[in-house]
Chains A and B, each alone.
Chain A
Amino acid sequence: MRTIPRRLLTALALTPLLAGCFAAGEDGSGTGEGAGDSGRLRVALAVPPVQALSPYSNDATVLSKLSVAEGLTALDKDGAAKPALAKSWTQKNATTWVFELRKATFQDGTDVTAASVVNALDHANKAETKPRVLSDVTLTAKADDADTVTITTKTADPVLPLRLASPALGILAEKAYAADGAVSPVGTGSGPFEITKLTGKTKATLDRYDGYWGGKAKAPGIDVSWISDGTARANALRSGDVDIAEWIPTAQAKLLDADTRHEVPSVRTDSLILNTGSGIFTDASLRATAREAVDGSVLVDSVFGGYADPAQGLFGPAVSWAADQRVAVTGRAKAASAAQVKSGTKGKTLRLATYTNRSELPEAATVLQQQLEKAGFTVKQDVREYTQMEADLLAGKYDALIFSRVTLLDTGDAVAYLASDFTSSGVYNIAGLKDTKVDQAIKAAAEEGDTAKRQQKIMQAEAGILRTDAVVPLVHEQAVQGIAADVEGVLLDPRERSLIDIDTHLK
């Protein structure tokens, strides 16, 4: 009897070693194996797959980041469309486009044909919860012959080639599309790397696809691990577990060696959205006071640790054409004095919201609170997880929101963002802005087909929006990518769409 505790203790101590339930140790592609020798790239990505890498979800960007799937077109450095699976295209009329396909094969050995393109686009159209990129357009694809596809849109869509570059519209082989609507990119893409195995939400193994039309990739394969915690990602890079770690949090960036730290201007702009629909900021002069009180540039060196640019407008340095064509903002309301603020708010508190999902935002909120209080406002913060407050945000329950927003959505075109966030019918119009001039300006930009003129009209719309003080841009974020010193050819993409291509390799 009295030996039981000892036996029990021994058993307890040994159980963990015997149980050995380790998620992804099966194929030994882990740390200890010296993956560096084989030349395989080890990558830590931040956002774990939510729908088994289905292109119609968040996971779509993984497919383009790792060069697994391609669309008909792709975006070049300046954000213009360039050939991908389509080698060329012509616009027949306002609503009809003809795409000539190149000779390419899917990773399952089948050919990329006009029929497979039509099949892929039809599935995207029919997907339950349509991908965002198709939300404001209805397109039909038709195969003319084996390598010609005609795409018609219901209304004129000047940015169709940009749209088709979206990762959500990647073309996969026929077997990728299951009858129940699920889409699997495992072994069905046409890019230089083929997903051979996906282990839950933790790991994926990619091998080089030798039949890629653009030649053989330099790296023999990629081992992906998803690490959602930013500190853990930085640790993985510092301890040599991975060669590339994306999105290092600004608090960790200083801990990386200087030669592994690469900052990229991001198309993300953080701004203070003021609720023009209800509450204290229906008063334009109070909005003007808030705009003058708030100074985003102090956030750059403090909260963002230097990894941000002071706000120029809605579009930052990552949108390369924006700076040259910026339109001066005129006709703004006059700011109220501190005394006027006191009487104007009638003792009401300014409800300042932000969310915890991006760690810099709560810190920014505290800085802004102090700035706003100096101007005479009484501020109360509400900081929660984004999904916990989204419904309240859309219902206009806050006076102000610090919001981090991607300004070039998956179309790669700025109008989509302006339309959803600032038009009176916009679905993401948290500012509750209803301004006919703004609506007109955005509509004019959306209808413009010529690239240069479209950019001008976008910048005019930007000035029109800023005039209302519904939004006060704070900073343009920079993304910090951690790349080990012996890796060459990693793509630093402001749109967060590409990372590894055929030229990326270990030295």
Chain B
Amino acid sequence: MSLGHSRAADRPFSWRSAAGRITAGAALLTAVAFLPWLSGTDPALTVLRARSADQDPTPAQLTAVREQLGLDEGPFAHLAQWLGGLVRGNAGASWVSGEPVLPQVTTALAVSVTLMLGALAVTAVVAALVCARTLYFGSRRQLRQKRVGVGAAVLAALPKFLLASVLATVCGVWLGWYPSQGWEGPQSMVLPALALGVPSGAMIGGLLDQSLPAAFHEPWARTWRAHGLAPGRIARTALRRALSGVLPQLLPTVVALVGGAVAVEKIFNIPGLGRLSLDAAIAQDLPPLQTATLALILLGVGAGLLIQAARRALLGPALRDGALPVLHPPALPRSRSLPWAMGFCALALLTLVVAGLLRDPLHVDTAARLLPPSAAHPLGTDSLGRDLLARLGHGALRTVGIALAVTAVSALVGLVIGAATQLGAGLTEVVSTLPAVLAGLLTTAVTGPSVLGAACAVCLVAWTPYAAQTAALLEQERASGHMLASLSFGAGPAYLLRHHLLPAVLPAMVRNALLRLPTTVLVLASLGFLGLGEQPPTPEWGRLLSENQPYAELAPWTVLGPATALVLLSVLAISGTATGRGPRRRRTAEAAPA
């Protein structure tokens, strides 16, 4: 870990970062190659089951599969064979279908990348809308109040699969504007791109919106404004300045959708890479799984390099010459509505939990199925007649506790890996695009099905946004003048860490982590089918959403309750940091050398 000022950071293609990428990629591919042998589930059985659902698993049949696939040769022989074929442009044949893998994977990759680019476009538009107000007033020096970003927090907390279901039903079936499913032409892309892009855009926009006031607070903005430069010009420059810190978030937020949009791909019946790799992973069909993983790794590294190049283009010589002042947010007064919003969310959540805890979350009453909200059941009942308020209340502590713990661990891991610039960058790029399900399968092999397993699996992939953010912010911080000053005064690594590096990274990272909290809840629940996480009927918010999703149209209240709870949680967390940070911020802002 190099905490000090490092000139090596200026050379993006240095051998150390290349070595980091290759090591990380090779390690991941090897782990995947061992999956069928590690998982404890006989690959012959899963392949047989994938081929034919009612085939009897007789020893003779299993032996036939084993011999046909050469499973007894072990993982090394298979890995060598696959790599050898890869050199000749042949990624092997699927264990299940016997068909060549490469055409399947390239087709699915093309579909998923197209969809991801659509989602990226939506992300850009939504992010622009989220920061439009700050850009307008900031460029005119009229930012009077601190922005909380409640709107962004609400949108970012929307579960993508729920948004997808609603869009498919409303715009696809009821209104008939766009196809409700399929992948036939550009019009098929609109709804899935919206479902994926809106929450991502709100996330990116929320982060951008938070760092923009600091850019407008820099001395150049005041000077330019005094010189009468057009607000548009100032806005563009501030955007360039703020964007460089947020851009790396695109990798784990948007590019990762290539392999990680399984739920949305299912709802819209899109033949993408997420479903392909999930099916291959479940059947332990190694060749397509390996090839899909390789494609995702290459995509992650490629996108990582592209983003890095874009950042360098945005920041330009300032970064190289160590002439970058730090972004310090202005000491703006808090919005007056903020305490109200926070109080409302806290009160609503508290009421929910207290009222819920007084009720029985497990009592099944099949006669009271899917009842709309009433006095007896204030939030209605689910498909088994269980009281939704009770389930929400009882699930709150467990859900929020695990999600917070996972987020904290991920953020810490991200901080450490992100600080290790050279090797960390490669690892971040490689893991960013790894679907959580794959991490889940690798984890079940070790931990077995458990709550801890789910938490581990999510931690395994969820650190990447924080690592990317840390790396980007530290790179700027290292290029700042006052770091050089501290260094020349003989400051040691511990001093630098405490007084320069952590203060530069932590506030933005906390906000990022809180914006991602609802996603963490949902990802944790999405691993349930592997046996990871709480087993039913334990109430848990993510499960409430996924188990009620089929009833979203028939009984909207079954998903409305949990979704609202997630939104409340997210808004509460975001506004909580905004109030909590106020006074301390002012002090650091005053103390900072300009």
Contacts and interface: CB of A to CB of B under 8 A. Distances in A.
Interface in A293-310: 298-299, 301-303
Nearest to A299: B366
B353 interface: no
B181 A22 contact: no
A236 B385 CA distance: 29
A146 interface: no
Name which of A19, A22, A238 has the most chain B CB atoms within 10 A of its CB.
A22
Contact of A303 (B113, B243, B383, B537): B383
A100 to B, nearest CB: 31
B159 to A, nearest CB: 15
Interface stretch (A106-114, A364-372, A431-439): A364-372
Name which of A232, A359, A366 has the most chain B CB atoms within 10 A of its CB.
A232
A367 B385 CA distance: 10
A232 B183 contact: no
Interface string A231-266: 110011011110000000101101100000000000
How many chain A residues sit at the interface, stated as a range, is 35 or more
A128 B51 contact: no
A201 B265 CA distance: 14
B441 to A, nearest CB: 9
B51 A22 contact: no
Nearest to A386: B49
Contacts of B236: 2, 5
Given A23-B271, A31-B184, A427-B56, A382 B531 contact: yes
Contacts of A51: 51, 96-98
Contacts of B68: 128-129
Contacts of A179: none
A303 B384 CA distance: 7
B50 A50 contact: yes
Contacts of A369: 537
Given A16-B118, A23-B111, A235-B169, A381 B550 contact: no
Nearest to B181: A232
A12 interface: yes
B383 A251 contact: yes
Interface stretch (B185-193, B212-220, B417-425, B487-495): B185-193
B142 interface: no
Contacts of A102: none
A232 B267 contact: yes
Interface in A11-57: 12-13, 15-17, 19-25, 30-32, 50-52, 56-57
B229 to A, nearest CB: 12
A62 to B, nearest CB: 13
Given A22-B188, A385-B529, A390-B49, A363 B383 contact: yes
Interface string A123-155: 000001111100100000000000000000000
Nearest to A1: B316
Interface stretch (A90-98, A222-230, A324-332): A222-230
Interface in B358-397: 362-364, 366-367, 369, 383-385
Nearest to A354: B536
Contact of A129 (B55, B117, B314, B528): B55
A236 B531 CA distance: 31
B173 interface: yes
Nearest to B555: A251
Interface residues of B, number: 91
A200 to B, nearest CB: 7
A427 B547 CA distance: 33
Interface stretch (B20-28, B57-65, B201-209, B471-479): B57-65
A380 B535 contact: yes
A31 B179 contact: yes
A387 B180 contact: no
Nearest to B362: A370
Contacts of B266: 228-229, 232
B53 interface: yes
Contact of A232 (B51, B118, B168, B536): B168
A253 B417 CA distance: 50
A31 B184 CA distance: 8
B530 interface: yes
A9 B125 CA distance: 10
Interface string A411-427: 00000000010000001
A201 B50 CA distance: 14
Contacts of A302: 366-367, 369, 383-385
Contacts of B240: 2, 5
Nearest to B125: A13
Interface stretch (B39-47, B295-303, B318-326): B39-47
A391 B58 contact: no
B184 A128 contact: no
Interface in B63-115: 64-65, 68, 96-99, 104, 107, 110-111, 113-114
Given A128-B64, A232-B269, A387 B364 contact: no
Contacts of A128: 64-65, 68
A394 interface: yes
B384 to A, nearest CB: 6
Contacts of B51: 50-51, 57-58, 129
Contacts of A482: none
Contacts of A24: 183-184
A367 B384 contact: yes
A394 B57 contact: yes
Contacts of B258: none
Nearest to A364: B384
A481 to B, nearest CB: 18
Contact of B554 (A12, A58, A255, A299): A255
Nearest to B313: A4
Contact of B124 (A13, A255, A380, A420): A13
B553 A255 contact: yes
Nearest to B59: A427
Given A52-B97, A384-B530, A384-B531, A391 B52 contact: no
B517 interface: no
A388 B531 contact: yes
B393 to A, nearest CB: 18
A239 B117 contact: no
B536 A381 contact: yes
B551 interface: yes
A382 B449 contact: yes
Contacts of A490: none
Contacts of A31: 179, 182, 184
A485 to B, nearest CB: 16
7 contacts: A13-B121, A19-B110, A50-B97, A135-B56, A251-B383, A366-B537, A388-B41
Q: Which 7 A-B pairs have the closest CB atoms?
A: A302-B366, A21-B110, A251-B550, A384-B531, A30-B184, A235-B180, A16-B118
Given A21-B113, A200-B271, 9 more contacts: A5-B243, A12-B117, A50-B50, A130-B61, A201-B271, A231-B267, A363-B547, A389-B531, A390-B57
